[in-house]
Structure 1
Amino acid sequence: MSDSDLDVEGKASSVAFVLSIVALTWYVFILSLGLIGWWNARKRYRLRPRSPLSSAPASAVPGVSVLRPLKGLDANLYENLESTFTQEYPNYEIFFTVEDEYDQALGVVRDLIAKYPNVKAEVIIGEEVVGVNPKVNNLIKAYRQASHDILWVIDSNVMVAPGTLARSVDALDGPPSATQSSRRRIALVHHVPFAFATERTIGSRLEEAFLNTNHAKMYIALNSVAVDSCVVGKSNLYRKSDIDRVDGTLKPATASNRDYPHGKGFAAFGRFLAEDNMIAGALWHELDLRHDLSCDVAKNAVGNMSLSDYFWRRVRWIRVRKHMVLVATLLEPFTESVLVGILASFALRHLFGFPIWLFICLHFALWLSIDLDVYASLAGHPLPPGADWWMFVGAWLMREFLAFPIWVFAMGGSVVSWRGNRYIVVKTGEVKKIGPDTESSGWFNWGSWRRKTNDNYERLQTID
């Protein structure tokens, strides 16, 4: 072997050594992040104490306006909405908002208003178009009519425990000592989504396996580290007085020569599809305020979700995130168990001769154990042994192996479908409506013949 061959072989060996070290370091980092999520899930969600606000007189607690956008008969709708009426909190009002007077959800709402006459509740019919986001258009009237500064925006497919509002207000106001310290004020309190399937279809099981394990673990971890905003909008509390000071540009509100080309307040977020995430980011970056998780979960009812529904739902939010946080979205596959495990297994074999098959088995056993314990923390009980346990584990494995191909597909486009319409996502997560979801082409058209909308606000049609 010549000297040049030896030199090339030496350089290749050095590169392989460096890449192996990088891969192992990254593996330890992602595993550590997962352990942070697992540990904080145990600390935060295994004990949910009753708030003293639950039994306080109405005059002694801050008022809260609850905003629930509706469209059609979502899965578990009656129980979801009823959970708002049964909150153990003495001073709140509820606004139910629908686009038109023929919406099927109105029958459910009126039944509940009659059942709970002592709860102040009002129905607002008719949207006001302030942007392309139909949820913002649906809510804007209730936002303006709300009597209280604290708003609780909660999706129609979410059910919450009776003590959720009181504990959330506790978290929003913070302990008395917090106002006397240098700690930044809490401007938003949110809840980890916890899925429960009302119909045992493959998409529903995948959604359960995703939201209740990997998503929850990383969501809790990122909010525990708290280096930036990370919020899902299933159930959020914030103050109207704060929202009225931001516009979604994420530029500090205190900056000199600051202008507001989109206006300020809730209506300014109508240009985004992920208005919840942008509101949270605006409070963080524009007002330099912070978020907090309460010890409650947002129980997300998942109805008849097919594999196609699940696929397109994941594609939609990856495409939205791509235009909001590009670097984080590019790194996303390297946080998933499959890719990070493969990279670490090759690194260990190169450095120490450790068998790839053995590491992969140990890796997935560890990952699954952590995720199942996160599930137990959120649910309040472990998965029962038997057929359901094996079904859940099967869905978990399928979800893990589907993550990378879904990501690859999603990164190839910017068109998304939501509530029967098609949008193109542009810079900073803003969207432009490009027509009804009927004439998709290219990558986006794949599988659309099987896809049916199953989003939070889709109406069920009836035949007269």
Structure 2
Amino acid sequence: MTIFFSWAGAIWWCVAVALLSVSLICGLLQPFVQRRRATHAETPPVSAIIPIKCLDPGFEIAQASMFAQDYPDYEILISAAEQDSPALDAARRVAGVHPARACRILHSGAKAAVSPKLNTLAAPLAEARHDFVFSKDSNMTLEPGAMTAFMRNFSEGVGLVVAVPVAVRPETIAGRIEAFLINGHARLLLTASVLGLGFGVGKAMLFRRSDLAKAGGVAIMSHMLAEDTALSMGLARLGLRTVFSHRPVTQEIGARSFREIYERQVRWSVIRRANERFSYPLEPLASPLPAALAGALAAPLAGAPAWLGFCATLFGWFCAETLFAALKGWEVSAWAPLAFLGREILSLTAWLRAWTTHDVVWGTGRFDARRGAREG
């Protein structure tokens, strides 16, 4: 029986390390590979939508980045479910600093969708002046050429362009753990992009309202908490692909609490389990902690003690991820070892929890991932 577990550990370890190696290579190659695929040269007018709710860390920096795009013709629509809030006050201040850019602030009181974000998007989607729609979350900061890069990727057969979010500027240890988790996931998304795979990632998206209408309109997204996944799936039924831009977007992290990051990771895990039924059970294969346990089981096959197999795997994985982050220009700090271990505990805990619940927290409300808002 011992030899069986040792060989099982060796197989798991080999698969996990192979996946890590492929993701490191693909993650470095993605900007070059995807840039060659980005062949759309036109720059039609765009309606840029920003749904807002809370005054997140880096809010004003993120909003100002929308006004600073070097794209030739676009309007900005800021939408909220509230009539007044600190986030709306901040949004008005930012808009006031950029009077040359057309900007409207809308109240979106829709309640029909499971997703509160989609309810906030309903009004600007209806009132946008242009066919092309670019949406971004309120905590996403764009480089000046981001919108142009998105449009370049809108080549023949594409219905949705999304971007890989990269975490920046964490201010607490909980924030650093979440940043390490987001950037670890970013490496996997970059790998998917190189392999020609696309997923709905709603942090920043470019699509056509006419395509959305052909797919069934807002109604096709209203039944799912993950409106980005529903949009990607709806467009796929029309034969339109989802692709990643060759430029990432940056997600402001700031000060986070452990409760906040746990609830957010559980929510994302529940959504992935509901929508990615094949890949979700396999997610631990991309995690270093199970790989280190597999290394401990396999170590006796090489005549080494189990503790050495565990420690060598965990340390080697950390060094590989840290070098990758440095080469990508992502944040690396003295907190990285602690953030790395914290990420593993958090992500595996959230992964396990998602098997037992559909109940998630989003902002200040509780939601059933299948039905929408809960009472109380």
- So what's the TM-score if we normalise by structure 1? 0.74
Residue 192 of structure 1 is matched in structure 2 by 164
**2 CA distance for matches of 1:290 and 1:33?**
25
Counterpart check, 1:323 vs 2:274:
yes
1:6-43 Cα deviation digits (max 9, x unpaired): xxxxxx47xx44x5545434433332332232223222
**1 CA distance for matches of 2:286 and 2:201?**
19
The root-mean-square deviation of aligned C-alpha atoms, in Å, is 2.6
> Cα gap change, 1:119/1:335 in structure 2, threshold over 3 Å: closer, same or farther?
same
**2 CA distance for matches of 1:222 and 1:431?**
30
Mapping of 1:75-154 within 5 angstroms?
A: 75-154=57-136
Residue 417 of structure 1 is matched in structure 2 by 361
> Cα gap change, 1:421/1:114 in structure 2, threshold over 3 Å: closer, same or farther?
closer
Counterpart check, 1:354 vs 2:304:
yes
Counterpart check, 1:302 vs 2:253:
yes
Residue 65 of structure 1 is matched in structure 2 by 47
Residue 37 of structure 1 is matched in structure 2 by 23
1:64-99 Cα deviation digits (max 9, x unpaired): 111100123221111111100100110111110012
**2 CA distance for matches of 1:63 and 1:273?**
29
**2 CA distance for matches of 1:202 and 1:265?**
41
- Note if contact 1:33-1:221 (Cα within 8 Å) is conserved in structure 2: no
1:420-462 Cα deviation digits (max 9, x unpaired): 222223xxxx3332213xxxxxxxxxxxxxxxxxxxxxxxxxx
Residue 152 of structure 2 is matched in structure 1 by 170
Amino acid at match of 2:350: I
Counterpart check, 1:225 vs 2:195:
yes
- Note if contact 1:190-1:292 (Cα within 8 Å) is conserved in structure 2: yes
> Cα gap change, 1:408/1:381 in structure 2, threshold over 3 Å: closer, same or farther?
closer
**1 CA distance for matches of 2:294 and 2:117?**
41
**2 CA distance for matches of 1:95 and 1:225?**
34
> Cα gap change, 1:276/1:149 in structure 2, threshold over 3 Å: closer, same or farther?
same
- Note if contact 1:373-1:382 (Cα within 8 Å) is conserved in structure 2: no
Q: Identity rate of aligned residues, in percent? A: 26
Residue 441 of structure 1 is matched in structure 2 by none
Counterpart check, 1:369 vs 2:319:
yes
1:331-385 Cα deviation digits (max 9, x unpaired): 2233311112212331342x3333322222331232112212332344x3663xx
> Cα gap change, 1:150/1:34 in structure 2, threshold over 3 Å: closer, same or farther?
farther
1:244 is aligned, of 201, 209, 213, to: 213
Deviation at residue 63 of structure 1 after TM alignment: 1.5
Deviation at residue 297 of structure 1 after TM alignment: 1.9
Mapping of 1:392-403 within 5 angstroms?
A: 392-403=336-347
- Note if contact 1:154-1:236 (Cα within 8 Å) is conserved in structure 2: yes
Amino acid at match of 1:404: L
- Note if contact 1:190-1:294 (Cα within 8 Å) is conserved in structure 2: yes
> Cα gap change, 1:362/1:46 in structure 2, threshold over 3 Å: closer, same or farther?
farther
1:207-254 Cα deviation digits (max 9, x unpaired): 111112x21122222333345x433211111222222232xxxxxxxx
**1 CA distance for matches of 2:211 and 2:32?**
31
1:169-205 Cα deviation digits (max 9, x unpaired): 11113xxxxx5xxxxx22221111111235x222211
What are structure 1's unaligned runs of at least 5 residues?
Answer: 1-11, 174-178, 180-184, 247-263, 384-388, 437-464
Amino acid at match of 1:107: D
Residue 24 of structure 1 is matched in structure 2 by 10
Deviation at residue 391 of structure 1 after TM alignment: 0.9
- Note if contact 1:416-1:423 (Cα within 8 Å) is conserved in structure 2: yes
Which one has a bigger Cα radius of gyration? 1
**2 CA distance for matches of 1:72 and 1:186?**
32
SS at structure 1 position matched to 2:120: helix
- So what's the TM-score if we normalise by structure 2? 0.90
- Note if contact 1:83-1:162 (Cα within 8 Å) is conserved in structure 2: yes
Amino acid at match of 2:347: A
- Note if contact 2:360-2:366 (Cα within 8 Å) is conserved in structure 1: yes
> Cα gap change, 1:354/1:43 in structure 2, threshold over 3 Å: closer, same or farther?
same
Deviation at residue 411 of structure 1 after TM alignment: 2.1
**1 CA distance for matches of 2:266 and 2:357?**
9
Residue 432 of structure 1 is matched in structure 2 by 372
**2 CA distance for matches of 1:269 and 1:409?**
25
SS at structure 2 position matched to 1:308: helix
Amino acid at match of 1:293: F
Residue 458 of structure 1 is matched in structure 2 by none
